[in-house]
Amino acid sequence: MSRFWLILFAFAASGAAADQRPVLSLVIDDLGYSLKNGMAAIELEGDHTYAILPGAVYSRRLAQHAHQKNKEVILHLPMQSISSRAAHEPNALNEAMDEDQLLSNVHSLLAEIPFIRGVNNHMGSHLTEYDFFMRPVMDSIRSYNRSLYFLDSRTSPRSVAHAQALVAGLESATRDIFLDNETNPESIRLQYNIWLTQARERGSAIAIGHPYPNTLEVLRENLGTANLDFRFLRISSLIDERKTPGAANSGGARFSSLPTVIR
């Protein structure tokens, strides 16, 4: 190889290593119900993560499309909520299940979605508060594939899911911001700006949004500009980066001072 190309490669490598821009990680939840909105979410600019529900009509098709677009796919694992809304998910893990049932159901749900790199909870504000439920769930994920990670959506401020994932030997992270608990554009823009502020202050921040038309529109309007000052990383890459000694947000759970909406 010529000296010119060696110098060029060295310059590119040093430039990449020197990229100290804060990191934004975006997860789009609840994919599988709408093909149109799911496809639109997958087309968003950036290296994002897509949480796909098992059992929904378009789940496997959207997982295939995301994989073809080199986007990260995770299982959006239904869990019992404090509210009655989780009753709409007939396959949700619930408190009536014993450890053997949890193991069997988790394995079945994991097998439904191809190409998954991790798992996050759908609803779960009840189940995630108890270590005696989360322990077998995390053990089940690890026994299915020990390379999967768990993202705690933090649908309850008392969630122990992140802690139990670490105990089980899984890589894990926690959500910082919900973009669209309120679905009007003004509220979504406010949450979007809080997400950017937290990333600047901490070095990285994880936001969860949904394939709502207003959410997708706000993201389309802003992601291209944010790319100038921030890096976008899928959750698995962010977890790897946080392992680096001295990296911002490395290790441990982080709890936002913002209110958590129970799901």
User: Could you tell me if 119 and 77 are in contact, meaning their C-beta atoms sit under 8 angstroms apart?
Assistant: yes
Q: Quick: pLDDT tens for 122-138.
A: 999 999 999 999 999 99
Both tokens assigned to 103:
């193991």
The reported pLDDT for the residue numbered 83 is 80
**pTM (2 d.p.):** 0.88
Average pLDDT of 43-47? Answer: 97
| Alpha carbon distance 79, 133 (integer Å) | 10
Q: Which H or E run includes 95?
A: none
| Alpha carbon distance 73, 216 (integer Å) | 18
Length of the chain: 263
The reported pLDDT for the residue numbered 254 is 42
Domains defined along the chain, listed by start: 22-242 (3.20.20.370)
Q: Quick: pLDDT tens for 150-160.
A: 999 999 999 99
Say if residue 103's pLDDT is above 50: yes
Average pLDDT of 169-196? Answer: 98
The reported pLDDT for the residue numbered 17 is 55
Q: Quick: pLDDT tens for 172-182.
A: 999 999 999 99
The pLDDT confidence band at residue 6, using thresholds 50, 70 and 90, is: very low
The pLDDT confidence band at residue 88, using thresholds 50, 70 and 90, is: low
Query: Residues with Cβ < 8 Å from 37, sequence gap 6 or more?
Result: 211, 212, 213, 216
Q: Give the Cβ contact number of residue 118 at 10 Å.
A: 26
Q: Quick: pLDDT tens for 236-255.
A: 999 999 987 666 554 443 43
The reported pLDDT for the residue numbered 218 is 98
The reported pLDDT for the residue numbered 19 is 81
